[in-house]
Structure 1
Amino acid sequence: MFTDPELRADPVNYAPVVAHQMMAITVGYLAGDFLVVFSHQKQFGVAISRQTMLHHFIGVVGFSIMILFRVFSWFAIFRLSSEASTVFINIRWMLATNPKWKSSWLYILNGSVMTIVFFAFRVGSLPYYYYVLVDAWPNMVATRETWQIITLLVFGSTIDTLNVYWFSKIWGGLMSMVRPRSKTQ
Structure 2
Amino acid sequence: MEESTRMGYCIVAGSFVAFQFFFSAVSPQLSLALSRRYCSLNAVKKCEWNSRYRSPRGLRGAGQNPGVLHTDPSPRAPSPHSNPSLCVPIPDLLLLLRYWKTLGDSLFVCHHLVALYAYGYVLSRGVLPYFANFRLLSELSTPFVNLRWFFDTVGQPRSSWFVLANGLAMTVVFFLVRIAVIPSYYARVLAWYGTPEYARLGLAVQVAWIVPSLALEVLNLVWMYKIVRGFYRAFCRPRERKAACSHSD
Scaled by the length of structure 2, the TM-score of the pair is 0.64
Within a 5 Å distance, the mapping from 1:24-39 to structure 2 comes to 24-36=87-99, 38-39=100-101
1:1-185 equivalences under 5 Å are 3-5=69-71, 7-8=72-73, 10=74, 12-36=75-99, 38-41=100-103, 49-137=105-193, 138-179=195-236, 180-182=239-241, 183=244
Percent identity over the alignment is 23
Matched to 2:86, the amino acid is M
C-alpha displacement of 1:90: 0.6
Alpha-carbon distance in 2 for matches of 1:15, 1:123: 27
Larger Rg, first or second structure (1 or 2): 2
Contact 1:13–1:73 at 8 Å: present in 2 too?
yes
In the alignment of these two chains, the number of paired residues is 175
Quick one: distance in 1 between partners of 2:174 and 2:137?
Answer: 11
Greater shift, 61-70 or 138-147, is seen at 138-147
Question: Offset at 1:14?
Answer: 1.3
- Tell me how far apart the structure 2 counterparts of residues 77 and 121 of structure 1 sit (CA, whole Å): 12
Separation of aligned partners in 1, 2:230 and 2:157: 16
Q: Unpaired runs of 5+ in structure 2?
A: 1-66
Measured in 1, the distance between the counterparts of 2:214 and 2:129 equals: 17
Change over 3 Å in CA distance of 1:55–1:17 after alignment to 2:
same
Letter paired with 1:178: F
> Are the counterparts in 2 of residues 27 and 60 from structure 1 also a CA contact under 8 Å?
yes
**CA separation of 1:2/1:139 partners in 2, compared to 1, >3 Å: closer, same or farther?**
farther
Q: Over aligned residues, Cα RMSD in angstroms?
A: 2.0
Residue 64 (structure 2) aligns with: none
Distance, in Å, in 2 between the alignment partners of 1:92 and 1:139 is 46
> Once structures 1 and 2 are overlaid, which stretch shifts more, 130-139 or 96-105?
96-105
